[in-house]
Structure 1
């Protein structure tokens, strides 16, 4: 959805602009998003093949076989990025949510809670931890539908207000549509994946701008949250880890902010191919 080639083409064929985005932070950091054409993309109900990489649903886990090369500004050579990631849902949610009155943009939190197993060969690192899986889809481009949005997700020990049950999750989603109207929601997912929309949202918690002066904000009890670390700081996108409280519980949240006006800027569109190359294979 952020492909400059797809945008320039007029977006007639999304499969012709397929990519697997891999972002590894910290020591051994890698970042890949190589776009590939329809000729090297295939898919069925359980499998998506994009060039040398494969994503498959095994029935109880989403397995991602990564065979990519990273892209760094100003560096002429690329490093291999190879390994396997398994995402094992702990809860599944069947309900998708519309982000606009016309239903042109929909968001589906497939697994509000999941476990992850990462086994990378290049670079050599591995770990296990908590995960999350969602999907955005629609009938028009993001910049046609929105100016900006902010999203955050946190695992919770509570489940529908019953702490003994545990294994819940909280997702806050808000933004400004292209027509200027605002939307906001706070969803609490039970351990079975059932979503509950909160009638009263936590207050807005402003966050400091990034180095690219991206505006960030989230929702939190008493309107206060702090940034633990900014993982991704780009001209139109930021990803961060937060320390906050939601519905009376201290949590660590992942937060994202996206500015579609910045994304559509011609200067940003000119820069993107240097970060997102296109390969015939």
Structure 2
């Protein structure tokens, strides 16, 4: 998120693109044949890119990840993301540039989201600085961000009905909340506070507090001190089953704005949703690297 607000960016690198209809239709047999670097920008002129690419577009080394024309590289304590993508309708255009993520520190936390460890959350850098330099006026800015990952051996909808996640800058670090309702009816409710050195402390999260529903009437909630109402301050991604937004809340007396996500896996299971998603997520099975 940009310092001072008004603009934000999210970048997700997928092996086995969990929200891709093409991956679901394939039976999820070969994750490496459904790879993607999803880039979404929020604010004036915001755009969305998510191209499902085949295995020929994938290259990996110990410190780099490449999907077709875009790539991530880890060098000297920084994650550099080179972007060259095409946005989906209605703003079809090239999205090109560089984003640099500089963590304040790296954490060692791994949080299993199910008892058998089939789903794991790994917050590599819960507190970081970002530099954004894209090929559009106004899209050169600095801000604060984070770098995390989710790993799984089963589809999300096989184990969950609903979850929310939030990352909020607090003190010299950040606080993350992970709340999920599993398919068996059990629940996960976790709060973790990270300092600027990446040290983690499990905390008792403040109460769940309902937020206003999204434009698609998606139920939303997050954590807030008693007597405080979380509010959306900037819309980001709004889909029938998923919502991402900048949200203001109060945590241990501190007013903070962070990124909040809500995911309804009951809606995502609907077979009617997949053809709609295909309009936003094109499939490009073939790629040839030059040089």
Matched, 1:40 2:57: yes
Q: CA deviation at 1:26?
A: 1.6
Alignment map for 1:183-262 (pairs within 5 Å): 183-198=188-203, 200-222=204-226, 224-262=229-267
What's the offset of the Cα at 1:183?
A: 1.0
Quick one: distance in 1 between partners of 2:122 and 2:202? 14
Structure 2's unaligned 5+ residue stretches are: 1-17
Show the 5 A alignment for 1:1-281.
1-73=18-90, 78-122=92-136, 125-157=139-171, 167-198=172-203, 200-222=204-226, 224-279=229-284, 280-281=286-287
| Cα shift at 1:251 | 0.9
Shift of 1:230: 2.1
User: Shift in Å at residue 59 of structure 1?
Assistant: 2.6
- Which residue number corresponds to residue 164 of structure 1? none
Aligned mates of 2:258, 2:65 — CA distance in 1: 29
TM-score (ref. length: structure 1) = 0.92
Task: For 1:124 and 1:224, locate their aligned partners in 2 and report how far apart those are by CA, in whole Å.
Answer: 32
- For 1:15 and 1:45, locate their aligned partners in 2 and report how far apart those are by CA, in whole Å: 16
Contact kept, 8 Å, 1:114 with 1:131, in 2: the verdict is yes
Q: Distance in 2 between matches of 1:242 and 1:212?
A: 17
Q: Distance in 2 between matches of 1:183 and 1:106?
A: 12
Give, in angstroms, the shift of residue 122 of structure 1: 4.5
How big is the shift at 1:210? 0.9
Is the 8 Å Cα contact of residues 89 and 115 (structure 1) preserved in structure 2? yes
**1:201 & 1:89 partners in 2: Cα distance?**
24
Q: TM-score, normalised by structure 2?
A: 0.89
Indicate conservation of the 8 Å contact 1:81/1:123, yes or no: no
Report the Cα distance in structure 1 between the residues aligned to 2:70 and 2:157, rounded to whole angstroms: 28
* Contact 1:150 1:173 (C-alpha < 8 Å) held by counterparts: yes
Please list every run of 5 or more consecutive structure 1 residues that lacks an aligned counterpart in the other structure.
158-166
SS at match of 2:276: helix
CA distance in 2 between counterparts of 1:259 and 1:59 reads 38
Q: Conserved in 2, the CA contact under 8 Å of 1:28 and 1:123?
A: no
| CA RMSD, 1 decimal | 1.3
Give how far 1:124 is off: 6.1
Secondary structure, aligned partner of 2:129: strand
